[in-house]
Amino acid sequence: MTKIRELNERFSDLKKLKYINNLLEWDQHVYMPEKSNKGRAELIELVSRITHKKLISNKTQRLIEQAERINDLNIIDSAILREAKREYEKAIKVPTELITELAKTSILAYKAWKEAREKKDFLRFRPYLDKIIELQKEYADKIDIGLTRYDSLIDEFEPGATSEWISEIFNRLSIKLKTILKKLMNSNDVPDQSILNKYYNPKKQWDFSIKILEKLNFDFSIGRQDKSVHPFTVSLSSTDIRITTRIWENFLPACLFGTLHECGHALYDAGFMKEIHNTNLAGGSSLGFHESQSRLWENFIGRSKEFWDYWYPQLQKLFPEHLKKLSKNEFYRSINSVKPSLIRVEADEITYSLHIILRFEIENLIFQDKITTSELPQIWNEKTEKLLNLIPPNDSDGILQDIHWSGGAFGYFPTYTLGNLYAAQLYHNALVKNPHLQNDFSKGNFSGFLNYLRDNIHQYGKIYHPIDLIKKISGENLNPDYFIHYLENKFFPIYSV
Amino acid sequence: MTKIRELNERFSDLKKLKYINNLLEWDQHVYMPEKSNKGRAELIELVSRITHKKLISNKTQRLIEQAERINDLNIIDSAILREAKREYEKAIKVPTELITELAKTSILAYKAWKEAREKKDFLRFRPYLDKIIELQKEYADKIDIGLTRYDSLIDEFEPGATSEWISEIFNRLSIKLKTILKKLMNSNDVPDQSILNKYYNPKKQWDFSIKILEKLNFDFSIGRQDKSVHPFTVSLSSTDIRITTRIWENFLPACLFGTLHECGHALYDAGFMKEIHNTNLAGGSSLGFHESQSRLWENFIGRSKEFWDYWYPQLQKLFPEHLKKLSKNEFYRSINSVKPSLIRVEADEITYSLHIILRFEIENLIFQDKITTSELPQIWNEKTEKLLNLIPPNDSDGILQDIHWSGGAFGYFPTYTLGNLYAAQLYHNALVKNPHLQNDFSKGNFSGFLNYLRDNIHQYGKIYHPIDLIKKISGENLNPDYFIHYLENKFFPIYSV
């Protein structure tokens, strides 16, 4: 048994190196002076070099082999071994030169993408995207985890998921979403969103977000919130979990739902059982599962009637100039207005997943060698029209809008929608098991739901695969119908459909 | 020549690990949530373990040996080799068990010291201090750099300095300081310090400190200022240098001179020539030299008449309720009032060094085995009476006031006063070479003096030994007379002596 402990210690060091990397990145995005980038990049490079060397060393291999010969590993130790093997085997399969090439190309591609987006010109980005795709194909061939190249890439983010499985789910979802959307768009009872675009004092927005965090049991003694351009959540240990938000003076939802979203991630990372702190299991079961937590707090709860039963009077008091005369119901409708738009990050709960389905379908085509990048803008625009009934006027509002591909993150997008689907299934399960929960929310009591999440999800970290975990909790596989029913039950009344 | 480059790269990695450690500590003191200590300690421990392993590896030894066989090293490369050797040899001489023992004992001793200080009871700290001293003696024997044990410890902080050399300087200084102090204390024209203890709005204090930093050429594009309990300066690269300050509502000098002090340190760390960035030469020539920079900006400039020619009207405008009717001269006198006190960190420019001399003499006796810790409080009190004409009413205002010994930092204290002495000699030299400087200060122009410091000191980092550097600049060895003359010329007029 000391063998498994040694293995654990090695991967615990690797986990700590990850935490150190996280601090370097957190600081970079939150407090680092503007001209300190070069020095910071060098520190991050060193940590990644040390990490890689430690991971692919003979000692790691020996420890894994020794642990594999143990017959009676408990559930935690065998999960530690499983994750260790997964990480080690991927690392040794990929030549260091490829890693370096990927890192270098990403930096150039990111610059080219930024420039291309500014100039609204995909052609400036295309040669870099070609190179990135070529390298990602090589990478997929090397790690060779899935049935297809794209499957290998998806597995990085969502262990066990395949493009075929996702296709099936997304196809069904796509039809249903378009049907719902059509019904809503035909309604004459449309919410008015304009109230959200008034001026809201930044300091008051910030204070309100802190108040919400406290009430949602975000523990400030082991966490903090700061501001950054793009909100994110990061762990510096299992007892140091930080989120960021952004404040837009003329758009109330940015800070509000940004905070709620990241709070969901943070509560997950703060909920691992002590036994897996500092191990390679101290993380979300998958990106999709992690995203389910952020969506639950941001959308399922944060945009619910019950949530605002409790919070709206306080928000009214804070911003009487805009809200004093606006009813709770009108406010609730305003934060749930639905409208097809070109930009993913601005999308509502209905159309968001259509944006994701578009990206998934395109990635699938790319890695099946069915399209070349020269066709991409056209295919993007065609699919946008088909899914959202809109045509991007330029590349920046279309194919160039997301950063992901410039960094080589193919297979990442689907996890956003998987997150929504997991969230709906979990929320349904939680309400069945605890019918009083929504009533609790109305009274400002969010502990019951958090306890459900902790008991069923958070504590386990990566012990269970996402596919096993959802079955363990709900008794069935991931089923998109929960999400569809949730949307119908919520949005049809809002739109008087 | 590639051999020296390889050595440089290795020590560059070690430097970067130091920067990473610095970020972990900066964050710990500035933004880390209160209950995240354990996780943070584990990350710091990992970095120190990786650093130690890299430093004492066979590869490091081989690279040093190879570099030593090169005949025509330039001045930078031979300094890199010198520092590499110094660090490597010290590291291999000390057994890992001793390092671990020292670290563990320090943690316990720190706790005991805090408790003892609260209870004003030295006896609670004594057994831990005994252990710390025993381990430090063992450590000194292992590294065996100086003629005596104490010399070995001093050399850690002030390379090349010996207890004999410091004794000579301090003996002369002690007599002179007591003479000056006596004259001032006999004066009837005593400055009134009470104005500094009024209420000063914290936000205004902060803004004023930022304004000063900007004017003093602290570069906010590669640095920042934050708040912490104890002010400090830290580098996260040669282009990311951060300081902290503290604000006391009822004591104006805390923030003001805290900022000036740390700014001095920061300007040094921001001034290294590009060629030594990321090398083991990217640091102060010694602790004493580093302290000279902070003292120059805090005292020699920050408490000078000329400085306040420029700044006092602005300060008056900021706090008219207290300062409108107070003349510039009275303000200048108030920030330069002299009074023997029991606490080192509250001491003025005259008595500060007497506090240091006391500590130096006691450390010297301890490491010569001339006294035991049972005699310490009595000796402390006797020396306090002799030097400051005061008797501590309890241990907390005496022997227990400083944190240093609990962490095993013996030989550190003298560098504070060496800093004053270096500062005086440098200031004299700067004024001889640039007679217009004080006139510049009156006009709010501080660039001329910074350029002098950059040209003569900052750019070189650790290329030169402090002993060589002061001679290179001023043409003579460290000479305490400059400090004495500076004090006499400044304080006799203030006290109408």
- pLDDT tens string A235-276: 999 999 999 999 999 999 999 999 999 999 999 999 999 999
> How many Å lie between the alpha carbon of A95 and the closest alpha carbon of chain B?
23
Helix (H, G, I), strand (E, B) or coil at B244: strand
Contacts of A39 in chain B (CB under 8 A): 19, 236-240, 278
Residues of B that are catalytic: 262
Predicted local distance difference test score (pLDDT) of residue B67: 95
pLDDT at position A96 is 86
Q: Does B92 touch chain A (CB under 8 A)?
A: no
Among A residues 17-46, those touching chain B with beta carbons less than 8 Å apart: 17, 19-20, 23-24, 27, 31-36, 38-40, 42-43, 46
Nearest to A35 among B33, B38, B221 (CB): B221
Q: What is the pLDDT of residues A112-162, one digit of tens each?
A: 999 999 999 999 999 999 999 999 999 999 999 999 999 999 999 999 999
pLDDT digits (tens, 9 = 90+) for B457-475: 999 999 999 999 999 999 9
Instruction: Residue A225: list chain B partners with CB under 8 A.
Output: none
- B47 near A CB under 8 A: yes
Closest CA–CA distance from residue A263 to any residue of chain B (Å) = 16
Which residue in chain B is spatially nearest to A30 when comparing CA positions? B31
B50 neighbourhood in chain A, CB within 8 Å = 50
Q: Which residues contact A403 (CB under 8 A, 6 or more apart)?
A: A110, A113
Partner-chain contact A34 B278, CB within 8 Å: no
The amino acid at A200: Y
Cβ of A35 and B222 within 8 Å? yes
Query: Best interface-test mutation with B: which of A21, A37, A43, A238 has the largest number of B CBs within 10 A?
Result: A43
A236 touches chain B (CB under 8 A): yes
Q: What pLDDT score does B1 carry?
A: 63
CA pair distance A117, B364, nearest whole angstrom: 67
Instruction: Give pLDDT tens digits for B254-282.
Output: 999 999 999 999 999 999 999 999 999 99
CA–CA distances in Å: residue A56 to residues A14, A59, A195, A278, B483 = 11, 8, 55, 19, 58
Q: A21, A34, A42: best mutation site toward chain B, by most B Cβ within 10 Å?
A: A42
Residue of A36, A54, A221 to mutate when probing chain B, most B C-beta within 10 A: A36
Determine the average pLDDT of the residues in B11-31. 97
What mean pLDDT is reported for chain A? 96
B357-396, pLDDT tens digit by residue? Answer: 999 999 999 999 999 999 999 999 999 999 999 999 999 9
Nearest to B38 among A224, A226, A239 (CB): A239
Residues 6+ apart with CB under 8 A from B179: none
Please indicate if any CB of chain B lies within 8 Å of the CB of A147: no
pLDDT in tens, A455-493: 999 999 999 999 999 999 999 999 999 999 999 999 999
Three-point CA angle B52, B56, B61, nearest 5°: 150
Rounded mean pLDDT of B25-32? 96
Q: Cα dihedral sign for A89, A157, A155, A485?
A: positive
Q: What is residue B96's predicted lDDT score, i.e. its pLDDT? A: 86
C-alpha closest to that of A38 among B222, B402, B75: B222
As a whole number, mean pLDDT of residues A364-386 equals 96
> End-to-end distance of chain B based on CA atoms, in angstroms?
62
Torsion of the alpha carbons at A316, A319, A320 and A323, rounded to the nearest 10? -60
Pair of tokens at residue A101: 């090439």
Q: How far apart are CA B172 and CA A450, in angstroms?
A: 69
The verdict on a CB contact (< 8 Å) between A237 and B35 is no
Residue B237 has its nearest CB partner, among A13, A17, A36, at A36
Chain A residues whose beta carbon lies within 8 Å of the beta carbon of residue B42: 16, 237, 278
pLDDT tens, position by position, A77-99? 999 999 999 999 999 999 989 98
pLDDT digits (tens, 9 = 90+) for A172-195: 999 999 999 999 999 999 999 999
On chain A, the residues whose CB falls within 8 A of the CB of B240 are 32-33, 36, 39-40
**Residue of B36, B50, B240 lying closest to A36 (CB–CB):** B240
Q: Residue B305: pLDDT above 90? A: yes
A50 touches chain B (CB under 8 A): yes
Q: Which candidate from A39, A47, A222 shows the least CB-CB separation from B240?
A: A39
**Does residue B480 carry a pLDDT above 70?**
yes
CB-based contact, B467 to chain A, within 8 Å? no
CA A231 to chain B, closest CA, distance in angstroms equals 18
Q: Which of A23, A39, A224 is nearest residue B239 as measured by Cβ atoms?
A: A39
Question: Which of B57, B237, B276 would you mutate first to test chain A, the one with the most A CBs within 10 A?
Answer: B237
Do residue B33 and residue A222 have CB atoms under 8 angstroms apart?
yes
Known catalytic residues of A are 262
pLDDT of A306: 98
Q: Give chain A positions within 8 Å (CB) of B14.
A: none
Q: What is the mean pLDDT of chain B?
A: 96
CA distance B307 to chain A (A): 28
pTM: 0.95
Contact yes or no for B42 and A224 at CB 8 A: no
pLDDT, residue A3, reads 83
H runs (alpha helix) in B273-351: 287-295, 305-318, 320-323, 328-334
**Residue pair A497/A184 in contact by the 8 Å Cβ criterion:** yes
Distance from CA of B33 to the nearest CA of A (A): 5
Nearest Cα residue in chain B from A44: B20
Q: Which residues contact B266 (CB under 8 A, 6 or more apart)?
A: B218, B223, B233, B241, B242, B243
Q: Please, what's the b/e burial string for B405-422 (b: 16 or more CB within 10 A of its CB; e: otherwise)? A: bbbbbbbbbbbbbbbbbb
In a mutational test of the B interface, the residue from A17, A239, A243, A278 whose CB has the highest number of chain B CBs within 10 Å is A239
C-alpha to C-alpha distance for B479 and B433, rounded to whole angstroms: 18
* Nearest by CB: A46 against B13, B33, B39: B13
Tell me which chain A residues have a C-beta less than 8 angstroms from the C-beta of B13.
Answer: 46
Using the Cβ of A228 and the Cβ atoms of chain B, whether some distance falls under 8 Å is answered with no
Q: Could you give the percent of chain A with pLDDT greater than 70? A: 100
Report pLDDT digits (tens) over A214-232: 999 999 999 999 999 999 9
The pLDDT assigned to A1 comes to: 64
A 10 A CB-CB count for A409 gives: 18
β-pair partners for A235: A241
Q: Do A42 and B238 touch (CB under 8 A)?
A: no
Between CA B486 and CA A247 the distance in angstroms is 53
Residue among A20, A40, A221 whose CB faces B35 most closely: A221
Inter-chain residue contact B43 with A222, CB threshold 8 Å:
no
| CB atoms B35 and A222 under 8 Å | yes
Nearest to B36 among A36, A38, A237 (CB): A237
Report the residue count for chain A.
497
Taking an 8 Å cut-off on Cβ atoms, the answer to whether A237 and B40 are in contact is yes
